[in-house]
Amino acid sequence: MGWIVRFLPDIEIQQPLTGEEPLSAEAVLSKLWDQGTNGIGELSSGHIVAGFGSEQEAETAAEFLRTQPVRDVVCQPVDDQDWHDQDNVSDVVVPTATGQVSFSVKAGASFGHGDHETTRLILDAMDEQLSKGHTVLDLGTGSGVLAIAAMMIGAGSTVAIDLDPDAVAIAVNNADRNDVAVDCRHTPVDELIDEFRGRFDLVVANVLMVAHQEVASAVVKLLGPEGRVITSGYLPGQASKVVGAYEPLEVANSLKLGPWVGHVLTKRN
């Protein structure tokens, strides 16, 4: 897994937050190369994306960028070192009780090529937890891979949300390319509560520990009477904090793939 820092150059901001002289756009990019980026690309939205081998390198670059005349600095993991190749198509195969479903995604600079262990962990557990016609929420959809899998397995409807507007646009394209209807939104999970309280049969969430801690109480409110959550995206040492955040849900099943873990969480009987 690599890390990317995404930002929007902003020519209107003349002064950096530190009060020091801002660098020119060229000098900013040159500094990112000095900081060890392994590639810099531009998205159709105008955002610049720089890739790094580790979270620490990416955080250092993000800290630097926050002192420069740029906006929307976001640091996040990406599961394909070839993220800058916007034409990279990944085939995704999901096992089901009766065989498999398959589809393809173009993840670009979003997370979700389908083969990262945190994604696979949910894909491999999904068929067992999903009944035909279920209402699904994919929280942190990235490329839309889990939402598309849910619809292909037989969900009745799926809402897919992401904090990253570029990811939402990519998820919309991927749903279209596979001819499935996914309600993709750039909406914080709390803002779904009025519309969807108690309505989701299944929530899938492959996000970092901190994000689980932020979204868990809203997710619990969104779950239907028999609702369940499949979590992923954290390490064994972080599991008790993630599971604790979803209180009063309880662990029905523990999942593990490579260094990563996840859980199937259900309401107490």
Ligand X SMILES: C[S@@+](CC[C@H](N)C(=O)[O-])C[C@H]1O[C@@H](n2cnc3c(N)ncnc32)[C@H](O)[C@@H]1O
**What are the residue ranges of helices labelled H in the chain?**
25-34, 55-65, 117-129, 145-153, 165-177, 193-196, 209-222, 239-245
Are residues 131 and 154 in contact, defined by beta-carbon separation less than 8 angstroms?
yes
Are residues 7 and 74 in contact, defined by beta-carbon separation less than 8 angstroms?
yes
The partner residues of 231 in beta bridges, in order of sequence, read 205, 263
Stretch 61-90: interaction string toward ligand X, x if CB under 6 A: ---------------xx-------------
Query: Of 57, 80, 127, 162, which one interacts with ligand X (CB under 6 A)?
Result: 162
Stretch that binds ligand X, among 163-171, 223-231, 246-254, 257-265 (CB under 6 A): 163-171
Are residues 80 and 73 in contact, defined by beta-carbon separation less than 8 angstroms?
no
Q: How far is the CB of 210 from ligand X (least distance, A)?
A: 8
Q: Between 133 and 188, name the residue whose CB sits nearer to ligand X.
A: 188
Q: Between 82 and 214, name the residue whose CB sits nearer to ligand X.
A: 214
Q: Between 215 and 222, name the residue whose CB sits nearer to ligand X.
A: 215
Q: Between 112 and 227, name the residue whose CB sits nearer to ligand X.
A: 112
Which pair of structure tokens corresponds to residue 115?
């083969």
Q: How far is the CB of 150 from ligand X (least distance, A)?
A: 11
Q: Between 69 and 83, name the residue whose CB sits nearer to ligand X.
A: 83
Stretch 112-151: interaction string toward ligand X, x if CB under 6 A: x---x-xx-------------------xxxx--xx-----
Q: How far is the CB of 77 from ligand X (least distance, A)?
A: 6
Cβ neighbors of 163 (< 8 A, separation 6 or more) are 140, 186, 188
Distances (CA, A) of 88 to 9, 115, 184, 256: 26, 13, 22, 28
How far apart, in whole angstroms, are the C-alpha atoms of residue 195 and residue 172? 21
Q: Between 52 and 111, name the residue whose CB sits nearer to ligand X.
A: 111
The partner residues of 2 in beta bridges, in order of sequence, read 78
| Footprint on this chain of ligand X (rule: CB under 6 A) | 76-77, 110-112, 116, 118-119, 139-142, 145-146, 161-164, 167, 189, 206-207, 211, 214-215, 233
